[in-house]
Chains A and B, each alone.
Chain A
Amino acid sequence: MIALHAHKTLRSPSGNINLQLELEIGRGEFISLYGPSGSGKTSTLRMLAGLLKPDRGTITVEGYKWFDSDTGHMTPPQDRKIGYVFQDAALFPHLTVKKNLEFALPRHSDPSIIKELTALTHLDPLMDRLPDTLSGGQKQRVALARAVVQQPDILLLDEPLSALDAETRSTLQDHLLALHKKYDLTTILVTHDIGEIHKLSDRVVKLEDGKVVAHGSPISIFSHHQVSGKFQFTGEILRIDKQELIYVVSILINRDIVRVIASEDEVVNLKKGARVVVATKAFNPIIIPL
């Protein structure tokens, strides 16, 4: 169990941000941190990792105090058993993929974990390549494997998938979920992608202006209208077209575009780019095997 009670004032170009984090995370949970830019998501990860020192508060992990502003104690990042995947992957440019993975191996530990992980994440053909010759998706795959080679208790991911195309992203999400389960990790993912949150996480923590404003299951956080629907999806409005008396709203759900008919009253509250829930309850959908 991780208990984070931390205050920190961050100076940023758009003014000061006051982080006041109260957060508890159970062992083995997969948590997504969600919120607008500058809401303190990355800083939360950095405080957990020991890369950023809170001004006040405590960080307790499995009964051990990692940080306590009263005693001034701070466990250095080296002793925290944390795997961290940075947004830029942070692979060591002078080392091959193989050497990068070996670098992360803790002393006196069994090197067979490297073989196991490269098989799981399909890295074997890339082992002798240098990071500069890899694509963005390949880099993040290596970074993910490298973070797990450390055999961490906690895996922190700072938007590792945000710059990737949908297909690569989907593959990496599968890898991530597999690793989370296989190695019994507590995983915290910073992401903007609601689809990703639904697919991966047990719980979402929503941050705004440095504070936790909501937390709960992805469905409970993202469907504001509690429809007792038989099926529902979240998507993004691509366009709204007026046709005679009705409107046709095109909505992107995952990678499919769905057209939904709406009346003028309904369209008033909708605009292009907005996130919406598409649900139905009156009709029973038909399921046809592909």
Chain B
Amino acid sequence: MNWDPLLLTFKLALVTTLLLLIVAIPLANWLAFGKSRIKPVVETLVSMPLVLPPTVLGFYFLLAFSPNNAFGNWLNEWLGLRLVFSFSGLVLASMIYSLPFMVHPIRSGLAATPPSLRESAYLMGRSKQNTLFKVLLPNIRPSMLSAIVLAFAHTVGEFGVVLMIGGNIPGKTRVASIAIYEEVEIMNYGAANVYSMILFVITFVILLLVYLINGGYLKRFWK
């Protein structure tokens, strides 16, 4: 039994989720309260991964990041970044792929906070940034939890993007979903079943925990 694909999957999901959180908070804040005219365009772009086949995304990443192309070549030569068939490439692609799952809950949570909360913080001399971190985010903990878990779980479950841009390099880009596909290809159903069962159970438990926490079921036991 080779544990590498599973470990790699969770490492990828963890790194992606953490980086995504840093990007998504300012983005969700801007989408919730910004008044710019280009907002609808950005909203559309953020939501695109929800409807686009992951292979489309993967295909364009492959084109853009390939060292044979200008942009990929520039990244490679100037930053030493090789994003095709590498772990960092997977992280970047996963971030874009899971972006709506992180941004949407945070954005709806922020937009649903009563305006008077923000306004009273401003009148107390607090900056917008301070208000966001000290008042708004602590009050949308359920949305934050949903966002983090959905982004994590969604990254665990990705297949198409990884296959296109990451390939199937053991220990580097062969995540669990790809390993399952490969085991099935070579008729090794036993191994495929073990990987699948582990993913199934872990994601079930994670999502169940979210619903238990957000539904307030766990609090009843603490009290």
Contacts and interface: CB of A to CB of B under 8 A. Distances in A.
Interface of A: 49-51, 76-80, 82-84, 86-88, 90, 92-94, 103-104, 106-107, 150
Closest 3 interchain pairs by CB? A90-B116, A86-B116, A77-B122
Interface in B84-128: 114, 116-117, 119-127
Given A49-B119, A84-B119, A107-B125, 4 more contacts: A51-B122, A86-B116, A86-B120, A87-B116
Contacts of A86: 116, 119-120
Contacts of B122: 50-51, 76-78
Contacts of B121: 92, 103
Q: Is the interface of A mostly helix, strand, loop or mixed?
A: loop
24 contacts: A49-B123, A50-B122, A51-B122, A51-B123, A76-B122, A77-B119, A78-B125, A78-B127, A80-B123, A84-B120, A86-B116, A86-B119, A87-B116, A88-B114, A88-B116, A90-B120, A92-B121, A92-B139, A94-B138, A94-B141, A104-B124, A106-B124, A106-B125, A150-B125
Contact of A90 (B119, B125, B141): B119
B138 A150 contact: no
A90 B117 contact: yes
A50 B118 CA distance: 13
Nearest to A92: B135
Contacts of B126: 78
Contact of A103 (B114, B116, B124, B141): B124
A55 B202 CA distance: 56
A155 to B, nearest CB: 11
A80 B18 CA distance: 38
Contacts of A51: 119, 122-123
A90 B127 contact: no
Interface residues of B, number: 17
A94 B135 CA distance: 8
B190 to A, nearest CB: 49
Contacts of A83: 123
Contacts of B138: 94
Q: Is the interface of B mostly helix, strand, loop or mixed?
A: helix
Contact of B114 (A50, A90, A94, A107): A90
Contacts of B135: 92
B131 to A, nearest CB: 10
A94 B123 contact: no
A282 to B, nearest CB: 51
Interface of B: 114, 116-117, 119-127, 134-135, 138-139, 141
A80 B122 CA distance: 10
A103 B141 CA distance: 19
Contacts of B141: 94
Nearest to A152: B123
Contact of A84 (B114, B123, B139): B123
A87 B120 CA distance: 12
Contacts of B127: 78
A29 to B, nearest CB: 20
B54 to A, nearest CB: 37
Contacts of A92: 117, 121, 135, 139
Nearest to B141: A94
Nearest to A85: B120
B145 to A, nearest CB: 14
A94 to B, nearest CB: 4
B124 A94 contact: no
B143 to A, nearest CB: 13
A106 B123 CA distance: 11
B124 A150 contact: yes
A43 B123 CA distance: 16
Contacts of A94: 138-139, 141
Contacts of A90: 114, 116-117, 119-120
B126 to A, nearest CB: 7
A100 to B, nearest CB: 10
Given A92-B135, A92-B139, A82 B123 contact: yes
A76 B123 CA distance: 9
A88 to B, nearest CB: 6
A78 to B, nearest CB: 5
Contacts of A49: 119, 123
